Amino acid sequence: MSFEYTIPYDAIVIGASAGGLDALGIFLPMLDERLPVPVLIVQHISASSDSFIITYFDRLCKLRVKEAEEKEILKAGHVYFAPPDYHLLVESDKSISLSNEEKVNYSRPSIDVLFETASWAFGNKLIGIILTGANWDGASGCELIRKSGGMVIVQDPKTASIARMPESVIERFKPDYVLPLQEIGPLINSIFFPTPTQ
């Protein structure tokens, strides 16, 4: 069976902090291997960490997982993690920039930096997701995504190992979806594959 439809969004950005590795470990493997868009992730992590999480998630996921590289062009079906100690930015030509300018919200990489620049690049074709975490990084970025017409999904604070980060988004505005972790993956898949494709 074949049919044509317009891909409703062009990219997904995800922010996670304390408890995020476990949450991503549940969420990322749920994503359909045919996902037609790139996924960019800022997970707060120590500046001196090695590339362990890349290897770990690449093994775990159906999608290709890699560390974001400078000037790389984003590809559909690829998951890009911000490197430790660098901010991850998206350029309007859909390529990646890295920066080691000062911390934002005490964080480098910062979720707000990714969400803000991705929102400039993708406008209303962007989905932003905030998972568990202990600070408010990403809240202002989510607000910009929303103002630009994109979709904001927040992990239900009741189900997050640390509720602060999802809460800080909800305090600012009502996100499009507030969902338990297990339901976010299926929602993403249903957005890109609206009908059963057996």
Partner 1 sequence: MVVQELDSEILPLDPEAIEMSLLFEGIYQRYGYDFRDYGKAHAKRRIMHRLAISGINSVSELQHKVLYDETFFHQLLQDLSINTTEMFRDPDFFLSIREQVIPVLKTYPFIKIWHAGCSSGEEVYSMAILLKEEGLLNRTQIYATDFNPAVLQKAKEAIYPVNLMKDYTRNYIKSGGKNSFSEYYNARYDSAIMKNILKENIVFADHNLVTDSVFGEMNLIMCRNTLIYFNKSLQDKVVGLFRDSLVSGGFLCLGSKESITFSPHNIYFEPVVAKHKIFRLKY
Q: Least separation, in Å, of the C-beta of 87 and partner 1?
A: 9
Closer CB to partner 1, residue 146 or residue 175?
146
Q: Least separation, in Å, of the C-beta of 121 and partner 1?
A: 7
Three-point CA angle 138, 29, 168, nearest 5°: 20
Burial label for 71, CB within 10 Å (0-12, 13-18, 19+), is: exposed
Indicate if 87 belongs to the active site: no
Residues that bind partner 1 (CB under 8 A): 69-71, 83, 86, 89-92, 97-102, 113, 116-117, 120-121
Q: Where are the alpha helices (DSSP H) in 110-178?
A: 111-122, 139-147, 164-170
Strand, helix or coil at 171?
Answer: coil
Q: Least separation, in Å, of the C-beta of 195 and partner 1?
A: 33
Indicate if 58 belongs to the active site: no
Torsion of CA 154, 37, 33, 197, to 10 degrees: 90
Strand, helix or coil at 105?
Answer: coil
The active-site residue, picked from 87, 107, 137, 168, is 137
The active-site residue, picked from 17, 110, 119, 168, is 17
Closer CB to partner 1, residue 91 or residue 183?
91
Closer CB to partner 1, residue 100 or residue 190?
100
Indicate if 44 belongs to the active site: yes
Catalytic residue numbers read 17, 44, 137
